[in-house]
Chain A
Amino acid sequence: GAGVSQSPSNKVTEKGKDVELRCDPISGHTALYWYRQSLGQGLEFLIYFQGNSAPDKSGLPSDRFSAERTGGSVSTLTIQRTQQEDSAVYLCASSLRVNEKLFFGSGTQLSVL
């Protein structure tokens, strides 16, 4: 596609439910990143993929968070047993290669009630 696509754009869920957030990177981009932005905060790194492997997942805040990437393309970020503090905008970005310019999607606004 022309840009990084994320779905859904908005997600409202109840505390304790699981959610899946999807990211379609720019075609041909080998690196894919997940960040989140909580209200009034900067962007917080979560995880990045080089191809289908995740060399750095140290930013995931707890074991309720996981992510996978298949076929070197689409990535899914899963949050299990959501908590209210998980409410944030989850941003996905891709780059042609690691250490190159990041292109961001519009994000998924997650609200946990």
Chain B
Amino acid sequence: DQQVKQNSPSLSVQEGRISILNCDYTNSMFDYFLWYKKYPAEGPTFLISISSIKDKNEDGRFTVFLNKSAKHLSLHIVPSQPGDSAVYFCAASGAGETSGSRLTFGEGTQLTVNP
């Protein structure tokens, strides 16, 4: 039962353009969403998050949008840079100490930004 899905295993964009990574979830109890970025041979690093009380959160070139009715979130990177090439994981958590401690991850999307 894949509660968090990233349907695109890979995405390729030109430097300077926008990258849009998508994520869908099925569990309506999720109330906190995160994006992690992972380079080869390294652990994932936190990128940006959003609470379910918001529909948008922005941090520099990175913006996360949340559409609760559609159970969908997306990560926008503008402008994309070659150094952004990595695997991006969407993750979600629910309320409370026990459920909130467990992040449920998507399968990841490999982003390649071409110079």
Contact = CB atoms under 8 A, between A and B. Distances in A.
A42 B108 contact: yes
A41 B43 CA distance: 15
Nearest to B2: A42
Contact of A55 (B41, B46, B97): B97
Interface size class of A (residues with CB under 8 A): 20 to 34
Contacts of B89: 42-43
B69 to A, nearest CB: 24
Nearest to A99: B100
Nearest to B106: A42
A105 B43 contact: yes
Contacts, number: 62
A99 B103 contact: no
Contact of B102 (A48, A50, A91, A106): A48
B46 A106 contact: no
A93 B93 CA distance: 15
B101 A56 contact: yes
Given A48-B102, A98-B101, A42 B107 contact: yes
A56 B102 CA distance: 8
19 contacts: A33-B101, A42-B6, A42-B89, A42-B105, A42-B107, A43-B44, A43-B91, A43-B103, A45-B102, A45-B103, A55-B97, A55-B101, A56-B98, A99-B97, A101-B46, A103-B45, A104-B44, A105-B43, A106-B41
